[in-house]
Amino acid sequence: SQQGEEDPQALSIQEGENATMNCSYKTSINNLQWYRQNSGRGLVHLILIRSNEREKHSGRLRVTLDTSKKSSSLLITASRAADTASYFCATLTAMNRDDKIIFGKGTRLHILP
């Protein structure tokens, strides 16, 4: 079953605006990561937030985590054309004795010139 679910599925904004994507999950997690995928390419790691953290920054990226609501958000400030990509959240959860990483279906972000 799907763990992380991104919202919205697709988002179009003007260059320079901020883009916000959300991720909800169902079970307890160890950490949550966000990845970017340019069209037809592999995934690139953006940022990791641990379950005991509430907010994390990396350049123009800001990630929040609310474990009580089982949700995370990724904010990209001052968007650029190069930010056009799909964004995935991935949750690390321990199931039995095994760590398991589960990816959501992604949000397609399109930055309009």
Partner 1 sequence: DVKVTQSSRYLVKRTGEKVFLECVQDMDHENMFWYRQDPGLGLRLIYFSYDVKMKEKGDIPEGYSVSREKKERFSLILESASTNQTSMYLCASSHRALSGNTIYFGEGSWLTVV
Which residues would be at the binding site for partner 1 (CB under 8 A)? 2, 30-31, 33, 35, 40-45, 48, 50, 88, 90, 92, 98-99, 101, 103-106
Tell me how far, at minimum, the Cβ of 101 lies from partner 1, in Å.
6
Query: How big is the CA angle at 94 (ends 93 and 96), to the nearest 5 degrees?
Result: 145
* b/e burial code for range 27-55 (CB count within 10 A of at least 16 → b): eebebbbbbbeeeeeebeebbebeeeeee
103/99 Cα distance (integer angstroms) = 13
Tokens coding 60 = 């123009």
Q: 30 vs 77, which CB is nearer to partner 1?
A: 30
Amino acid at 82: A
Tell me how far, at minimum, the Cβ of 105 lies from partner 1, in Å.
4
Q: 37 vs 84, which CB is nearer to partner 1?
A: 37
Tell me how far, at minimum, the Cβ of 16 lies from partner 1, in Å.
29
Q: 46 vs 111, which CB is nearer to partner 1?
A: 46
